[in-house]
Amino acid sequence: MSVTPFLWFHVHAEDAAAFYVSLFPQSRIRHTVMTNSAIPGDDDGVLTVDFELDGQRIIAMNGGPAFTLDEAFSLSVEVDGQEEVDRLWDALTADGGEPSRCGWLRDRFGLSWQIIPRELHQLMADPDPERASRAAAAMMTMGKIDVAALRAAADG
């Protein structure tokens, strides 16, 4: 048995999967299923793309306009340090993506992401409740997470 996220796109499953695979190490397109006379969809178009992001299997489908992605589902990416936060944030918000709050964003394909530095979790779980509270309050004011500002806030 396995559990695999399944993403419904209108028509950009193949482009989205290729873009996501380009951003993460240990990522690849596993296989693509094309439409045919027995499967509804555009003639000779892509139906599904099975891919891996850093070892996590995901399936994307071109399902048409019946459903859309929203913030109720997101992919959370825990990263080491500000450089990785900046790299992924900039790539995922480029070309029509939209920043949100507290490390969340929506990419140009409509998928929501959380780009979270490991240090955020450490600071918010600090045994000193005042430090943790200051870090959490700082995070609530941010779009893209700023690690140095989190540290400064936690330290008071």
* Domains delineated in the chain: 1-67 (3.10.180.10), 69-156 (3.10.180.10)
pTM: 0.92
The contacts of residue 14 (CB under 8 Å, 6+ apart) are 32, 46, 49, 60, 62
C-alpha 71/C-alpha 98 separation (Å) is 12
Distance of CA 20 to the CA centre of its chain: 9
Beta-carbon count within 10 A of 93 CB: 20
pLDDT tens per residue across span 66-97: 999 999 999 999 999 999 999 999 999 999 99
Eight-state DSSP code of residue 95: G
C-alpha 98/C-alpha 156 separation (Å) is 31
Say if residues 115 and 89 touch (Cβ distance below 8 Å). yes
Torsion angle in degrees (nearest 10) through CA of 63, 66, 72, 78: 20
pLDDT tens per residue across span 86-144: 999 999 999 999 999 999 999 999 999 999 999 999 999 999 999 999 999 999 999 99
pLDDT of residue 35: 85
**SS3 for 111?**
coil
